[in-house]
């Protein structure tokens, strides 16, 4: 089959790879009909996640048609259309039974690698490095889906792929980012990053009752989408002093909750940006946590900082004194997607949201390298690329 593979830093390519086969009784094989490129894939593309090998099949946002099931998969049959959640989870371990699916204790065969960096291992993830399981991903014609009796969500007939594809990751991720803020009536929520995840965090904060949402980025087309699609107020952080602007907009108190939808490749103008780039280049920090630092400093005392942007390792100049002295709460995680798929499908079916609003580019799988390049460099007002195998 054809699959989009990680070849080296800044290089992906569509190659012939072996067709997946059933390896476990709880596996299914899915013929992929739609797949997408995520901001998390850019961290791989930019060489910031260790333990990638040339030829690894990328992609963790995908859906398609079941073509084969293992004997223990009783809930799916060939022909069913499914969306596949990006964390691989057994549904039976201590973490899965607490609905903490992205922490499944049974899905990472390379847990020892993750333990070295993080202490304990989270769940395996499709197409996301060997330290997270070495599973071939879904930017391909077919994928093997482990624990298919637990993860995949059956899609009702008649609902187009584009409306439900993002249940695999970015809609639940933005939603969890907002849910972790425990939004109360009257709350002001600020969101760093107006990429696809930020857009869903902004919309979800509104769905969950925020009175005002303030969206922060520097790309005018991304800020425009936040205004037009979700009624957010927006700040271009290159045009104003962000801290002062947020303070002014919130009666001098700061937003009640701040969501970091940027992650480890935060952009920072001037000296701070140069500092982070140099420290990262020489290995003294792994991540550039500029947005996280700002979210902490800007948050109202006693407020919540919700971090859904991905961080990989060690950060520097972390204002922990601000967290401690001002009683901030930090909440974070890879999304427990399986927990959110059904309730969010219901919101789609009720017409509360049509997640396809973020799609700006549709390309055949063969053009995945062009898709990565466009998405990374924000060419042609690129927001979200959907690939069709
Ligand atoms: P993206 O790269 O398209 O979006 C990031 C946005 O942040 C860009 O628009 C960029 O301009 C903006 N940005 C950069 N520096 C900034 C700063 N200092 N202040 C404000 N904005 C800034 O990616 P995306 O697909 O939207 O993903 C965003 C993050 O979410 C990534 O880190 C990704 O890995 C992560 N993610 C996490 C999960 C999860 O399970 N927690 C799932 C999916 C994605
Ligand atoms: Zn993702
Ligand atoms: Zn589990």
**Residue 335 CA, closest ligand 1 atom number:** 40
216 lines ligand 1 (CB under 6 A): yes
What's the pLDDT score for residue 138? Answer: 98
Does residue 238 sit in helix, strand or coil? coil
Let me know: does 308 contact 259? Beta carbons within 8 Å: yes
Ligand 1 in reach of 90 Cβ (< 6 A)? no
| Over residues 199-223, mean pLDDT | 98
Q: Is residue 31 within 6 Å of ligand 1 at its C-beta?
A: no
**Where is pLDDT greater, at 314 or 360?**
360
Give the residue whose CA is nearest to atom 9 of ligand 1: 195
Residue 189 has pLDDT above 90, yes or no: yes
What pLDDT band is residue 88 in, cutting at 50, 70 and 90?
A: very high
| Phi, psi (degrees; rounded to nearest 5) at 4 | -85, 120
| 196-203 mean pLDDT | 98
- At 367, the pLDDT band (50, 70, 90 cuts) reads very high
- Give the 3-state secondary structure of 18-80: CCCCCCCCCCEEEEEEEEECCHHHHHHHCCCCCCCCCCEECCCEEEEEEEEECCCCCCCCCCC
Residue nearest to atom 13 of ligand 1 (CA): 193
% the chain with pLDDT above 90: 94
Characterize the bridge pairing of strands 385-388 and 304-307.
unpaired
Predicted local confidence at residue 362, as pLDDT: 98
Summarize the confidence of residues 250-267 as an average pLDDT: 97
At 256, is the pLDDT very low, low, confident or very high (cuts 50, 70, 90)? very high
Question: What pLDDT is recorded for position 284?
Answer: 81
Cβ–Cβ under 8 Å, residues 60 and 137: yes
Place 348 in a pLDDT band, splitting at 50, 70 and 90: very high
Report the atom number in ligand 1 closest to the C-alpha of 332: 41
- Is 194 a pocket residue for ligand 1 (Cβ < 6 Å)? yes
pLDDT band at 5 (very low <50, low <70, confident <90, very high): very high
User: Per-residue pLDDT averaged across 345-353, rounded?
Assistant: 97
- Please give the structure tokens belonging to residue 271: 């000296």
Tens of pLDDT, residues 368-382: 999 999 999 999 999
pLDDT digits (tens, 9 = 90+) for 265-276: 999 988 888 888
Distance 95 CA to ligand 3 centre (A): 6
Return the H-helix or E-strand segment holding 5.
strand 2-8
* Cα separation, 177 vs 205, whole angstroms: 8
Q: What is the pLDDT of residues 97-155, one digit of tens each?
A: 999 999 999 999 999 999 999 999 999 999 999 999 999 999 999 999 999 999 999 99
Mean of all residue pLDDT scores within the chain: 97
CA of 20 to the centre of ligand 2 (A): 22
220-230 and 196-207 are packed helices; what angle lies between their axes, rounded to 10 degrees? 20
**pLDDT mean over 165-189:** 98
225 lines ligand 1 (CB under 6 A): no
Q: How far is the CA of 100 from the centre of ligand 3 (A)?
A: 8
Q: Please give the pLDDT value at position 330.
A: 98
- Residue 346: enclosing H or E segment and its boundaries? helix 337-349
Q: How far is the CA of 26 from the centre of ligand 2 (A)?
A: 24
The closest-lying atom of ligand 1 relative to the alpha carbon of residue 102 is: 40
In whole angstroms, how far apart are CA 119 and each of 122, 125, 300, 316? 10, 18, 31, 19
- Return the pLDDT at 4: 98
- Nearest-angstrom CA–CA distance, 355 and 38: 14
β partners of residue 6: 12, 56
Pocket test for ligand 1, best of 171, 194, 197, 355 (most atoms within 8 A of CB): 197
Nearest ligand for residue 263 CA: 1
User: 49 and 1 in contact (C-beta within 8 Å)?
Assistant: no
The answer, yes or no, to whether any atom of ligand 1 lies below 6 A from the CB of 291, is yes
């Amino acid at each position: 089959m054809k699959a989009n593979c990680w070849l080296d830093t800044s290089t992906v390519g569509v190659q012939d790879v072996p067709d997946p086969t059933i390896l476990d009784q709880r596996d299914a094989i899915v013929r992929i009909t739609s797949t997408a490129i995520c901001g998390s894939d850019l961290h791989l593309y930019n060489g910031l996640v260790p333990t990638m090998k040339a030829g690894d099949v990328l992609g963790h946002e995908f859906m398609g048609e079941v073509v084969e099931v293992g004997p223990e998969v009783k809930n799916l049959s060939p022909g069913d259309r499914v969306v596949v959640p990006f964390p691989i989870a057994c549904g039976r371990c201590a973490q899965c039974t607490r609905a903490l699916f992205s922490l499944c204790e049974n899905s990472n065969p390379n847990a020892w690698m993750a333990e070295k960096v993080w202490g304990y291992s989270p769940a395996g993830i499709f197409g996301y490095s060997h330290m997270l399981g070495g599973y071939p991903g879904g930017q391909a014609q077919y994928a093997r889906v482990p624990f298919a009796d637990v993860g995949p969500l059956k899609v009702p007939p008649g609902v187009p792929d584009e409306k439900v594809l993002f249940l695999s990751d970015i809609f639940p991720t933005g939603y969890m980012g907002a849910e972790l803020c425990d939004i109360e009536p009257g709350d002001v929520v600020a969101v760093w990053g107006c990429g696809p995840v930020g857009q869903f965090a902004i919309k979800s904060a509104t769905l969950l009752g925020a009175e005002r949402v303030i969206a922060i980025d520097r790309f005018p087309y991304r800020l425009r989408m936040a205004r037009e699609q979700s009624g957010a107020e927006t700040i271009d952080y290159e045009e104003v002093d962000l801290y002062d602007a947020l303070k002014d907009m919130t009666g001098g108190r700061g937003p009640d909750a701040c969501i970091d939808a940027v992650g480890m490749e935060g952009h920072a103008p001037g000296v701070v940006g140069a500092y982070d780039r140099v420290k990262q280049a020489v290995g003294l920090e792994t991540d550039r946590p500029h947005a996280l630092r700002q979210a902490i400093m800007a948050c109202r005392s006693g407020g919540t900082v919700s971090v859904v942007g991905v961080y990989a390792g060690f950060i520097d100049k972390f204002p922990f004194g601000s967290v401690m002295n001002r009683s901030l709460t930090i909440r974070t995680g890879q999304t427990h997607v399986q927990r959110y798929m059904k309730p969010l499908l219901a919101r789609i079916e009720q017409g509360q949201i049509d997640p396809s609003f973020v799609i700006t580019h549709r390309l055949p799988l063969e053009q995945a390298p062009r898709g990565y390049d466009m998405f990374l460099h924000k060419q042609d007002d690129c927001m979200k690329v959907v690939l069709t195998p």
